Amino acid sequence: MANIFLQPFQFEFFRNGILVAVIVGGLCGLIGVYIVLRGMSYIGHGLSHAIFGGAVVSFIMSWNFYLGAGLWGFVAAVLINQTVRRTKINADAAIGVITTASFAVGVALISRYRRFTQSFDAALFGNILGVTTQDLWVVSAVAALIAVAIFLIYKQLLFVTFDSEVARVYGVKTEWVDTFFALILASALIASMQILGVTLIAAALVIPAISARLLTDSFNRMVILSTLCGASTGFVGMYLSFYIDIASGASIVLLQASGFGLALIFSSLRKRASQRIVHTHL
């Protein structure tokens, strides 16, 4: 049993990969709480597709991947936010138009140039083999900066998350908070691409947070549970990816989906038990 646990650690790519998976899983779990409570579950899916377009452009232009794709994702997020604020278009429609167009740019460029490597398979589906020591340092730095940023604007972000209109009345600069959160989200998506892939990042952002929401009504407990869920499924998912030989993103998200199923069952049983107690006292 110990050999099964320790054997993968003889490979550098696995050591790097599992650390990145834990960091990315926890990071997605943390940010996912704000996304779910804001009713923005679709934004992760949309922005990840927008960032893919930026990643392709960065490759063609020989730009740094993280800077190019990150800037592209941030601009897409700001465009979505401004479109919703300044027009009659709702958020889902704005996300659908802007991010799908960006993804289409990426697909068009890939089909036009046809000189892309397997790194784009990793960008789509996640791949632990592509995680380098440099990636580990970049992801760690991004996660640390995001954690510090959320801590610094914790009160404002929480206020805007629960009621942006009231927050505006009390003097909170909601547009600035939304823009700052868009930068945080874009950075987190970039950090997650290598492990989770574009197609599955949205699930990793939403599932841990929804599972935590089923288990508690407390915001603080929800943050803790969601972060732990993301980090632990990242850890276990990497082992599944290694031994079953499937994409790392798929193994992590399948574990999270299983956890959601268990949380749903537990929540239903708890609700029924509470109803029985009420009926008994009546």
* Euclidean distance between CA atoms 131 and 61, whole angstroms: 22
* Euclidean distance between CA atoms 111 and 251, whole angstroms: 29
* pLDDT score of 48: 79
* Euclidean distance between CA atoms 38 and 107, whole angstroms: 30
DSSP the chain: -HHHHHGGGGSHHHHHHHHHHHHHHHHHHHHHHHHHHTT-HHHHHHHHHHHHHHHHHHHHHT--HHHHHHHHHHHHHHHHHHHHHHSS--HHHHHHHHHHHHHHHHHHHHHHH----THHHHHHH--GGG--HHHHHHHHHHHHHHHHHHHHTHHHHHHHHH-HHHHHHTT--HHHHHHHHHHHHHHHHHHHHHHH-TTTHHHHHHHHHHHHHHH-S-HHHHHHHHHHHHHHHHHHHHHHHHHHT--HHHHHHHHHHHHHHHHHHHHHHHHHHHHHHHHHH-
Lookup: tokens for 20: 């990145």
Q: Which of 260, 144, 249, 163 is nearest to 206 (CA)?
A: 260
Whether the Cβ atoms of residue 160 and residue 173 lie closer than 8 Å to each other:
no
* Euclidean distance between CA atoms 50 and 276, whole angstroms: 48
Lookup: tokens for 5: 């646990």
CB neighbours of residue 132 within 10 Å: 14
Greatest CA separation found in the chain? 72
Give residue for tokens 């499924």. 233
Task: Please tell me the total number of residues recorded for the chain in this structure.
Answer: 282
* pLDDT score of 277: 65
Report all structural domains of the chain as residue ranges with CATH numbers, in order of start.
13-281 (1.10.3470.10)
Please report, in tens digits, the pLDDT of each residue of the chain (282 residues total). Answer: 667 777 878 888 888 888 988 999 999 999 999 988 887 777 777 787 788 788 788 778 877 777 777 788 888 888 887 887 787 777 778 888 888 888 888 888 878 776 655 556 666 666 666 778 888 888 899 899 999 999 888 888 888 888 878 888 888 888 888 888 888 888 888 888 777 777 678 888 899 999 999 999 889 999 999 999 999 999 998 888 888 888 788 888 899 999 999 999 998 888 777 766 655 655
* pLDDT score of 126: 66
* Euclidean distance between CA atoms 282 and 280, whole angstroms: 5
Lookup: tokens for 29: 């779990």
* pLDDT score of 210: 94
